[in-house]
Structure 1
Amino acid sequence: MAQIYIGMGSNIDPMHHVCAGLDALYRWLGPLAVSPVYRSPAKGFTGEDFLNLVVGAQSPLSLEAVRQGLRQIEFQHGRPRDAKKFSSRTLDLDLLSFDDWVLTEPLELPRAEILHNAFVLRPFAELAPQWCHPVVGRTLAELWQHFPQDAPLQPVALAWSVPST
C-alpha cells in the first residue's frame, strides 16, 4: 500500500465541488485523512478565490492508476479535458506525493508546489507535519516554519462527513 497525498482545489462553486470531490475520493480510496481548508486568491490568472486542502490515503494502486483515477474524478466533476493550466476549476486534484518516490517523468514527484505555494504547504504540513520531503530532507513542519508567512490564507470551515454506504 502506498501512502499518497493529493492537493485539492476549486474556485467554481468551491464548497460543493470540494465536498463532491471528497465523496468521490472516499468511494474510490476508502478512509481519508483531510487537512484544514484554506481560501486563497487565484494564482497565475484573475479569478475567484480557491478553496484548497490536502487529502491523504493509502492505495494499493499503481502510480499510473492513481493518476488516471484522479483525472477521471476531475472530469466527472466538470473539469474540461482541454482546461488551461491557469484557469478557474470545478475540481483540481494534484498528486503531491506517492510514498517517498522522486520522479521527473511521467510526472514530478513530489510536486514542486509543495515548496513554493502556501496554499499547498500549509494544509499539507498540518495534515502530515512529520512527512519528510525526500528531495530537501526536511519535514513539512520545518518547511512551513521557514516559509514566508505573508501568504493570504483564510481558514474555512468544511461541512463534509464520510458518506453513508
Structure 2
Amino acid sequence: MILIALGANLSSAAGPPAITIASSLGAMAAQRIRVLKVSPFYSSPAWPDPSEPPYVNGIALVQTPLGPSGLLAALHAIEAEFGRERTHPNAPRTLDLDLIDYDGRVEEGPPVLPHPRAATRAFVLKPLADVAPGWVHPVSGKTVAALLTALPEADVAAVLKTTA
C-alpha cells in the first residue's frame, strides 16, 4: 500500500487549495502514479502559526512502478508544477505531497519511510483512516485508529471534513 498525504494552504495557478490538490491528482498520471482512492478533504489550522491560512488535507492511495526515491522525485516535480516554493520549514505552500508509506517499508532514506511525523499528525491520520482503515504503522505496529486515539483530543477535533 502506497500512501501520499495531500496538503495546501495557498492558492496556485490552478485555483484555491482544494482545486490545486484535485488538479495534482490528475497530474500524477503523467508521472506514472495511478490514483486508486482519495479521502475526503479536511481543513486544519496552519502550524506552527495558526494566523496563516488553514490547510486543506487528504490522503491518496496510489500504485506506481516507481521506487520510493523515484516517487518522491515525481511528487516534488508535481509540487513545483503547482508553484511550490521551499522557502523555510513549515512555510505556507501551494501544494505539499508527502510519501507516508510505501508497502510497509522501513527505510532511513531518503526518503525516510514511513514518514517520520505521520503518526503524530491528526491531519494525516484522519483522512488516512478513511482511505485505509486497516493500515498499521510499519514501525510501531499500531493501527491508524490507535494512533488517532493516542493524540490530544483537541488536535483531532481541530481537523474537520470540508466540502471545499
The bucket for the TM-score relative to the shorter chain is: 0.7 to 0.9
In structure 1, the residue matched to 2:22 is 19
Return 16-25 or 93-102, whichever deviates more. 16-25
| Structure 1 residues without counterparts, runs of 5 or longer | 159-165
Q: Which residue of 1 aligns with 2:13?
A: none
1:9-45: CA deviation from partner (whole Å, max 9, x where unpaired): 0001212211111211244422421112110111123
> 2:92 is matched with which residue: 75, 88, 94?
88
Distance 2:152 2:122 in 1: 8
Counterparts of 2:143 and 2:83, CA distance in 1: 35
Deviations 1:126-149 (A, max 9, x none): 211111111111211222233332
Distance 1:26 1:61 in 2: 12
- Does 1:128 pair with 2:132? yes
User: Which amino acid is 2:59 matched to?
Assistant: V
Aligned ranges for residues 57-96 of structure 1 at < 5 Å? 57-80=62-85, 82-96=86-100
Q: TM-score, structure 1 length as denominator?
A: 0.86
Q: Percent identity?
A: 34
Other-structure match for 2:159: 153
Aligned residues: 155
User: Aligned partner of 2:161: which letter?
Assistant: P
Question: What's the TM-score, normalizing by structure 2?
Answer: 0.87
Aligned residue for 1:49?
54
Q: SS where residue 107 of structure 2 aligns?
A: coil
C-alpha distance 31-6 of structure 1, shift in aligned 2 (>3 A): closer
Contact 2:120–2:147 (CA<8 Å) still a contact in 1?
A: no
